[in-house]
Structure 1
Amino acid sequence: MSRADHSDRARSLARCAVLAAAAAVLVVLLSLLRTGPLIILQGLAGLAVCAVGAWWFLAHRGVVRVLGGALAVGAPAAVLALFLYGGLWFTAPAGVALWAGALACARGALRADRRPERPAAVRPAAVRPGRPPRRPVLIMNPASGGGKVARFGLVERAEALGARVLLLTPGTRTDVEELARKAVAEGADLLGVAGGDGTQALVAAVAAEHDLPFLVISAGTRNHLAMDLGLDRSDPSRCLDALTDGVELRVDLGDVAGRAFVNTVSFGVYAAIVQRPEYRDAKAGTALDALPDLLAGGAGERLDALADGLPVTGQQALLVSNNPYSAADPLEVGRRPRLDGGELGVLGIRVDGAAQAADLAVRGALSPALTVLTSRRVEVRAGAGDDSDSAADSAADSAAASIPVAVDGEALTLPTPVVCTLRPRALRVLVPRNRPGAMDQVPELNWRRIATLALDRPGPGARA
């Protein structure tokens, strides 16, 4: 398709997005004229009650937990009944459908936009042809992802493509990093992993240290890194196509206290739950049993952080990610639009009771309970608390403390302060030329850009 065709398609989709968004707003306004603003207030109240119920369910036990669960389920049902009774049985679904269509068209317009004036900040990671490796070594965990290695015949396919496979033994602890270093010493010119993000990170650090290409095989449970690289998560064997027909990406590699991470570092509530030995076998049950103590019982550690010098205090949970997750585009929540942006994503949560839970549910990112920012360096310490005698004493206590940390889902305990940084474009990743998820890696949703495309105006700094 020519550049002119791309421009026409982008312009058409942008106009559809603007029209659908305007129609969604019009539907809401017409509904308000018919039913009055009270219905909106009822909806917000229902959302707040649902959040209060969810907080009681998570932070308490016994009768209060049962009552919270009933509220969390019953409040949305009551709001739906009110909407139906108020005559919104058609307009509410129509507004939601129009808004969803607007988002889909807007993302399609950004994907089709191939104009030279696209800002460098939203360009995808540079891609260059990959040289087929001569002595690739792949480390595979047969227990990962519920047995995907065996189910998809990864060992046989990899060996047929000329790779040497090192198979981990289930139930035993193996020093994966040392295994990778030994492979490099024996002449490996590519390292790869079929396993979870924690194993991926350990081997990726060795690959980056020796400037070797790294191959990601989506055989883990969640496969966050594979998803953000656009790899096929439904069939991990397709990742092996990179050995014969691949392209190379340069992506950032995170560092937490000298240990590499490819996805996230979690502090606080989640990290404390992951530390429990029963978590691996019963994740949901362990979390429900631990949360009341961690959230409302005082057993949970509060965290203080400095993000490029900006204080973030008293957090119950803190998540630092290797490049920020999407926040502007609701259809891309849970994904990172790019992996070479050179910035850490920081998400902090501080909810002290049911009222703050309700405020967070209604106001979202505007609530003081939620902190969302980006940073190049994040320093995390145990919270000083309210009874510290002096700033000097609290700083000394914090420096001597150790806190639970989950690095790419792996449970660790690290002395504070824990410092997270990025090594920009330190990792060479070899991926298949054809990646089914690559088309979804578009710039974050920008309605100003959509309006510019719809009106066919060149953006700021564009060439005529």
Structure 2
Amino acid sequence: MGGGARESTAVGGGGRGGSAGWARLALLALAASVLVPLVTVGPLGLLWAAVGLVGLALAAVGVWWTLAHTGVVRTVGVVLCATAPLLVPAVYAATGVLWPVLVSLALWVLAMASAHIAVAYRGTADEHAAAPPRHPWILMNPRSGGGKVGRFHLEERARAAGAEVVLLDGGPQDVAGLARRAVADGADLLAVAGGDGTQALVAEVAARNDLPFLVIPAGTRNHFALDLGLDRDDPARALEALTDGVDLRVDLGFAADRVFVNNASFGTYAAVVGDPDYRGRKVRTSLRMLPGLLTGADAPRLGVRAGDAHAEGLQALLVSNNPYLRAVDAARPGRRQRLDSGLLGLVCVRVGNTAQAAAMMRGARSGGLLRLTARTAVVEADTATVPVGVDGEHVVLPAPVRCRLEPGALRVRVPRHRPGTPLSGATADWPRVTRLALGLPVPGGRRSRGATPPGGTG
């Protein structure tokens, strides 16, 4: 896979420069995590580190054989998945090095957590005071999230707050059409209590009419609500925005003409989601379909052009509304540090055999994983149409598919007081942590919208 678009780098900002004390603790813990095995077992500590990497590689091979094969090979893969994570600690215990390894691991976790706290910041999004809406309109899906609408009495609470509530029935409905009709009838705020896919459809109508959009996390995962700082465990708290709310400007993603607030997934995941049996039997359907999708003659092969980068032969591609943080860099993996960068995040995966599966443990250096950012991306396929999972909803779009962002297109109404901080978080940015620990000036401030962050190809 070629590289030209640049990988995203976390940027500190906001109103404080971080904590020097936490930064010093992070550096000390990081150094100690390296020194403990070297002091206790000497140069053999490097050998034990290699043993751990071999164990991870074996687990990756097991996952690949489980997903991409059937029969005896799949059975062996399941055994590897189960035994490889246990084999390494057993070897450590038998050779008397288990406790230094555990201490080193604990110090590494402490270093990562301290680094995160040291560079954490309030977030770069501007909050604007908002007057309570006169005619709020809320669409609710009683089946989302296992019945959260009924369990948290959302309909009653919303009506008591003066909102017009529309409940989705069991049949197919034109969600966007319902929202457009509400706007024509005078609604001055649109809201959804449901999953991310339903939220995206109504969010587009709100953006087109420059109306505030309220997210009520009544779905199963509610990733968009999480990145806005909302309480996913108590969706009723989102209704506080009707009386004491503030507005944030965030980006909207598009795959062709379909809006997404989280991501659009191409390749294996999108094909599996499109199977009629997937909703009722997710694991069984995935295991049945994945061998053919990963290694069969009809396995999808995708390409993507993003900026001056071009990647081909991909099995999976995730295009996100703003980049996701790396799992190894974030205190909470699967999060977006901001929703207003004006950049798409792309995660490209290409794994064709067992050796490449084992090499995935090296991350971006494996050659099978590429992370990019770009203002636009074009997804190519060798077929006339391509299945896409748009915020978890299966659609089929004509190829090629152009993905883009509309910066700041959506005005989101959130409660003034909420448990999470929207558009915040920080990666373990070690150069920044080092400058904090040494008392040196730390670059900060808000990056101009749409600028490509510095970095390197994955």
TM-score by length of 1: 0.89
Look up the match of 2:37: 28
Which structure shows the higher helix fraction? 1
Q: 1:390 aligns to what?
A: none
**Which residue is equivalent to 2:387?**
404
Residue 366 of structure 1: aligned partner: 365
Q: Which amino acid aligns with 2:47?
A: L
Rounded to whole Å, the distance in 2 between the matches of 1:91 and 1:342 is 45
Deviations 1:210-234 (A, max 9, x none): 0000000000111010010010000
Give the letter for the 1:207 counterpart.
A
Equivalent residue for 2:293?
Answer: 294
Name the structure 1 match of 2:311. Answer: 312
Distance in 2 (alpha carbons) for counterparts of 1:31 and 1:155: 62
For the pair 1:99 / 2:108, whether they are aligned, the reply is yes
Contact 1:195 1:217 in 2 (8 A): yes
User: Given the alignment of the two structures, is residue 453 of structure 1 paired with residue 452 of structure 2, yes or no?
Assistant: no
**Cα distance in 2, alignment partners of residues 8 and 315 from structure 1:** 40
Partner in structure 1 of residue 208 of structure 2:
209
Q: Which has the higher contact order (CA 8 A, sep 6+)?
A: 2
Q: Give the Cα–Cα distance (whole angstroms) in 2 for the partners of residues 249 and 138 of structure 1.
A: 19
Amino acid at match of 1:437: G
Helix, strand or coil for the counterpart of 1:438? Answer: coil
Distance 1:323 1:305, change over 3 A: same
Q: 1:360 to 1:31 in 2, by over 3 A?
A: farther
**Cross-structure match for 1:436:** 419
Gaps of 5+ in 1: 1-5, 115-122, 384-397
Query: Equivalent residue of 1:266, what SS?
Result: strand
**Match of 1:142?**
142
Q: Does 1:420 align with 2:403?
A: yes
State the alpha-carbon separation in 1 of the partners of residues 145 and 213 from structure 2.
20
How far apart are 1:260 and its partner, in Å? 1.0
CA distance in 2: counterparts of 1:29 and 1:439, whole angstroms: 41
Matches within 5 A, 1:341-356: 341-356=341-356
* 1:332 aligned counterpart, secondary structure: coil
Structure 2: how far apart are the matches of 1:102 and 1:440? Answer: 23
**Aligned counterpart for 2:62 among listed residues 31, 53, 61:** 53
CA distance in 1, matches of 2:188, 2:319: 31
The answer to whether residue 271 in structure 2 is matched with residue 272 in structure 1 is: yes
**For 1:461 and 1:419, how far apart are their aligned partners in 2?**
33
- Alpha-carbon distance in 2 for matches of 1:177, 1:439: 26
User: In the aligned structure 1, how far is the partner of 2:16 from the partner of 2:284?
Assistant: 52
1:99/1:158 Cα in 2 relative to 1: closer, same or farther (>3 Å)?
Answer: same
Q: How many angstroms does 1:35 deviate by? A: 3.7
**In 2, Cα distance between the equivalents of 1:110 and 1:344?**
24
Q: How many angstroms apart in 2 are the aligned matches of 1:460 and 1:189?
A: 40
Shift of 1:258: 1.3
The aligned residue for residue 303 of structure 1 is 302
- Counting only pairs closer than 5 Å after superposition, residues 80-159 of structure 1 correspond to structure 2 as 80-111=89-120, 123-159=123-159
Give the residue type in structure 2 aligned to 1:348.
C
**1:278 aligns to what SS in structure 2?**
coil
Q: Is the 8 A contact 1:322 1:422 kept in 2?
A: yes
Partner residue of 1:285? Answer: 284
**Structure 1 residue 109: deviation in Å?**
1.6
Tell me the residue number matched to 1:323. Answer: 322
Instruction: Kindly report which structure 2 residues correspond to 1:58-77, keeping only aligned pairs within 5 A, or say none.
Output: 58-77=67-86
Alpha-carbon distance between aligned partners in 1 of 2:107 and 2:422, rounded to the nearest angstrom: 23
Name the aligned partner's letter for residue 405 of structure 2. Answer: L
Once residues 286 and 455 of structure 1 are traced to their aligned partners in structure 2, the CA distance between those partners, rounded to angstroms, is 54
Between 1:46-55 and 1:58-67, the stretch displaced more is 46-55
> SS of the counterpart of 1:99?
helix
Code of the aligned partner of 1:455? L
Q: Could you say what the CA RMSD is over the residues aligned between the two structures, in angstroms?
A: 1.8
Distance 2:334 2:28 in 1: 27
1:42 aligns with one of 51, 68, 73: 51
Residues 207-257 of structure 1 deviation map (CA, whole Å, 9 limit, x = unaligned): 000000000000011101001001000010001111111111000001111
Runs of 5+ unmatched residues, structure 2: 1-14, 446-458
Please tell me whether the aligned partners of residues 240 and 432 of structure 1 are also in contact (alpha carbons under 8 angstroms). Answer: yes
CA contact (8 A) 1:139 1:192 kept: yes
Aligned letter for 1:100? Answer: V
The alpha-carbon deviation at position 28 of structure 1 amounts to 3.4
1:169 matches 2:152: no
Instruction: State the secondary structure of the residue aligned to 1:232.
Output: coil
**Cα offsets for 1:23-55 (capped at 9, x unmatched):** 112123224506453322222222222211111
Q: How much does 1:332 deviate?
A: 3.0
- Cα deviation for residue 438 of structure 1 reads 1.2
Query: Once structures 1 and 2 are overlaid, which stretch shifts more, 175-184 or 8-17?
Result: 8-17
Instruction: Tell me which amino acid in the other structure corresponds to 1:450.
Output: V
CA distance in 2, matches of 1:9, 1:411: 42
The answer on whether the counterparts of 1:380 and 1:417 sit within 8 Å (CA) in structure 2 is yes
Q: Secondary structure at the match of 1:304?
A: strand
Aligned-pair CA distance for 1:447 = 1.1
